[in-house]
Structure 1
Amino acid sequence: MLVIKDDEMRELLIENGWSQRKLAREIGVDAAYVHRIFGHKRNPGSIFVSRVLARFPDAKFEDLFRVS
């Protein structure tokens, strides 16, 4: 199961002045989906992961996500 690393993901958003809603807009997914991922009610899918990494090219997969 794939999950986000909360602290690292939040830090990335803060560093870029982004909210969860802005992240959703920028990667083309529903804001509720992003909120559920951050709340660990949903697991990030491949589209979410690939679009986050494309939007933040300096970020590494292993810094933002973990397999549990």
Structure 2
Amino acid sequence: MQPSHASQGEPVLVLNRQKLDDLRRAHGIDTEAELARRIGVNPSTLWRVSQGEVQPSHVFVARVMLAFPTARMDDLFSARRAEPAVA
């Protein structure tokens, strides 16, 4: 018998976009492009991570944390289990 967590999907890291937007506004960053530049990523990468299309890499997470050093990681990111794929 498999452990019950096996059917729940793999763990994923999810960006809290609302918190990131709050930080963006608090730091006077007006545009998505400027936010992407500030954290050192391509705007399309920021969009895909924000939409949950791709997982944030460890480099993405580190760049966000360095850009906003007073932010707490657990405010910006949360761990969840992915929805199991439907066959």
Question: TM-score, normalised to structure 1's length?
Answer: 0.87
1-side partners of 2:49 and 2:40: how far apart? 15
Question: TM-score, normalised to structure 2's length?
Answer: 0.70
Taking only the aligned residue pairs, the percentage that are identical comes to 32
RMSD of aligned Cα (Å) = 1.2
Match of 1:53 in 2: 65
Q: Specify the SS of the correspondent of 1:67.
A: strand
Task: Identify the structure with the greater helix proportion.
Answer: 1
| Aligned residue among 9, 12, 36 for 2:48 | 36
Any stretches of 5+ residues in structure 1 without a counterpart? Answer: none
Show structure 1 runs of 4+ deviating over 3 A.
Answer: none
2-side partners of 1:36 and 1:17: how far apart? 23
Any stretches of 5+ residues in structure 2 without a counterpart? Answer: 1-11, 81-87
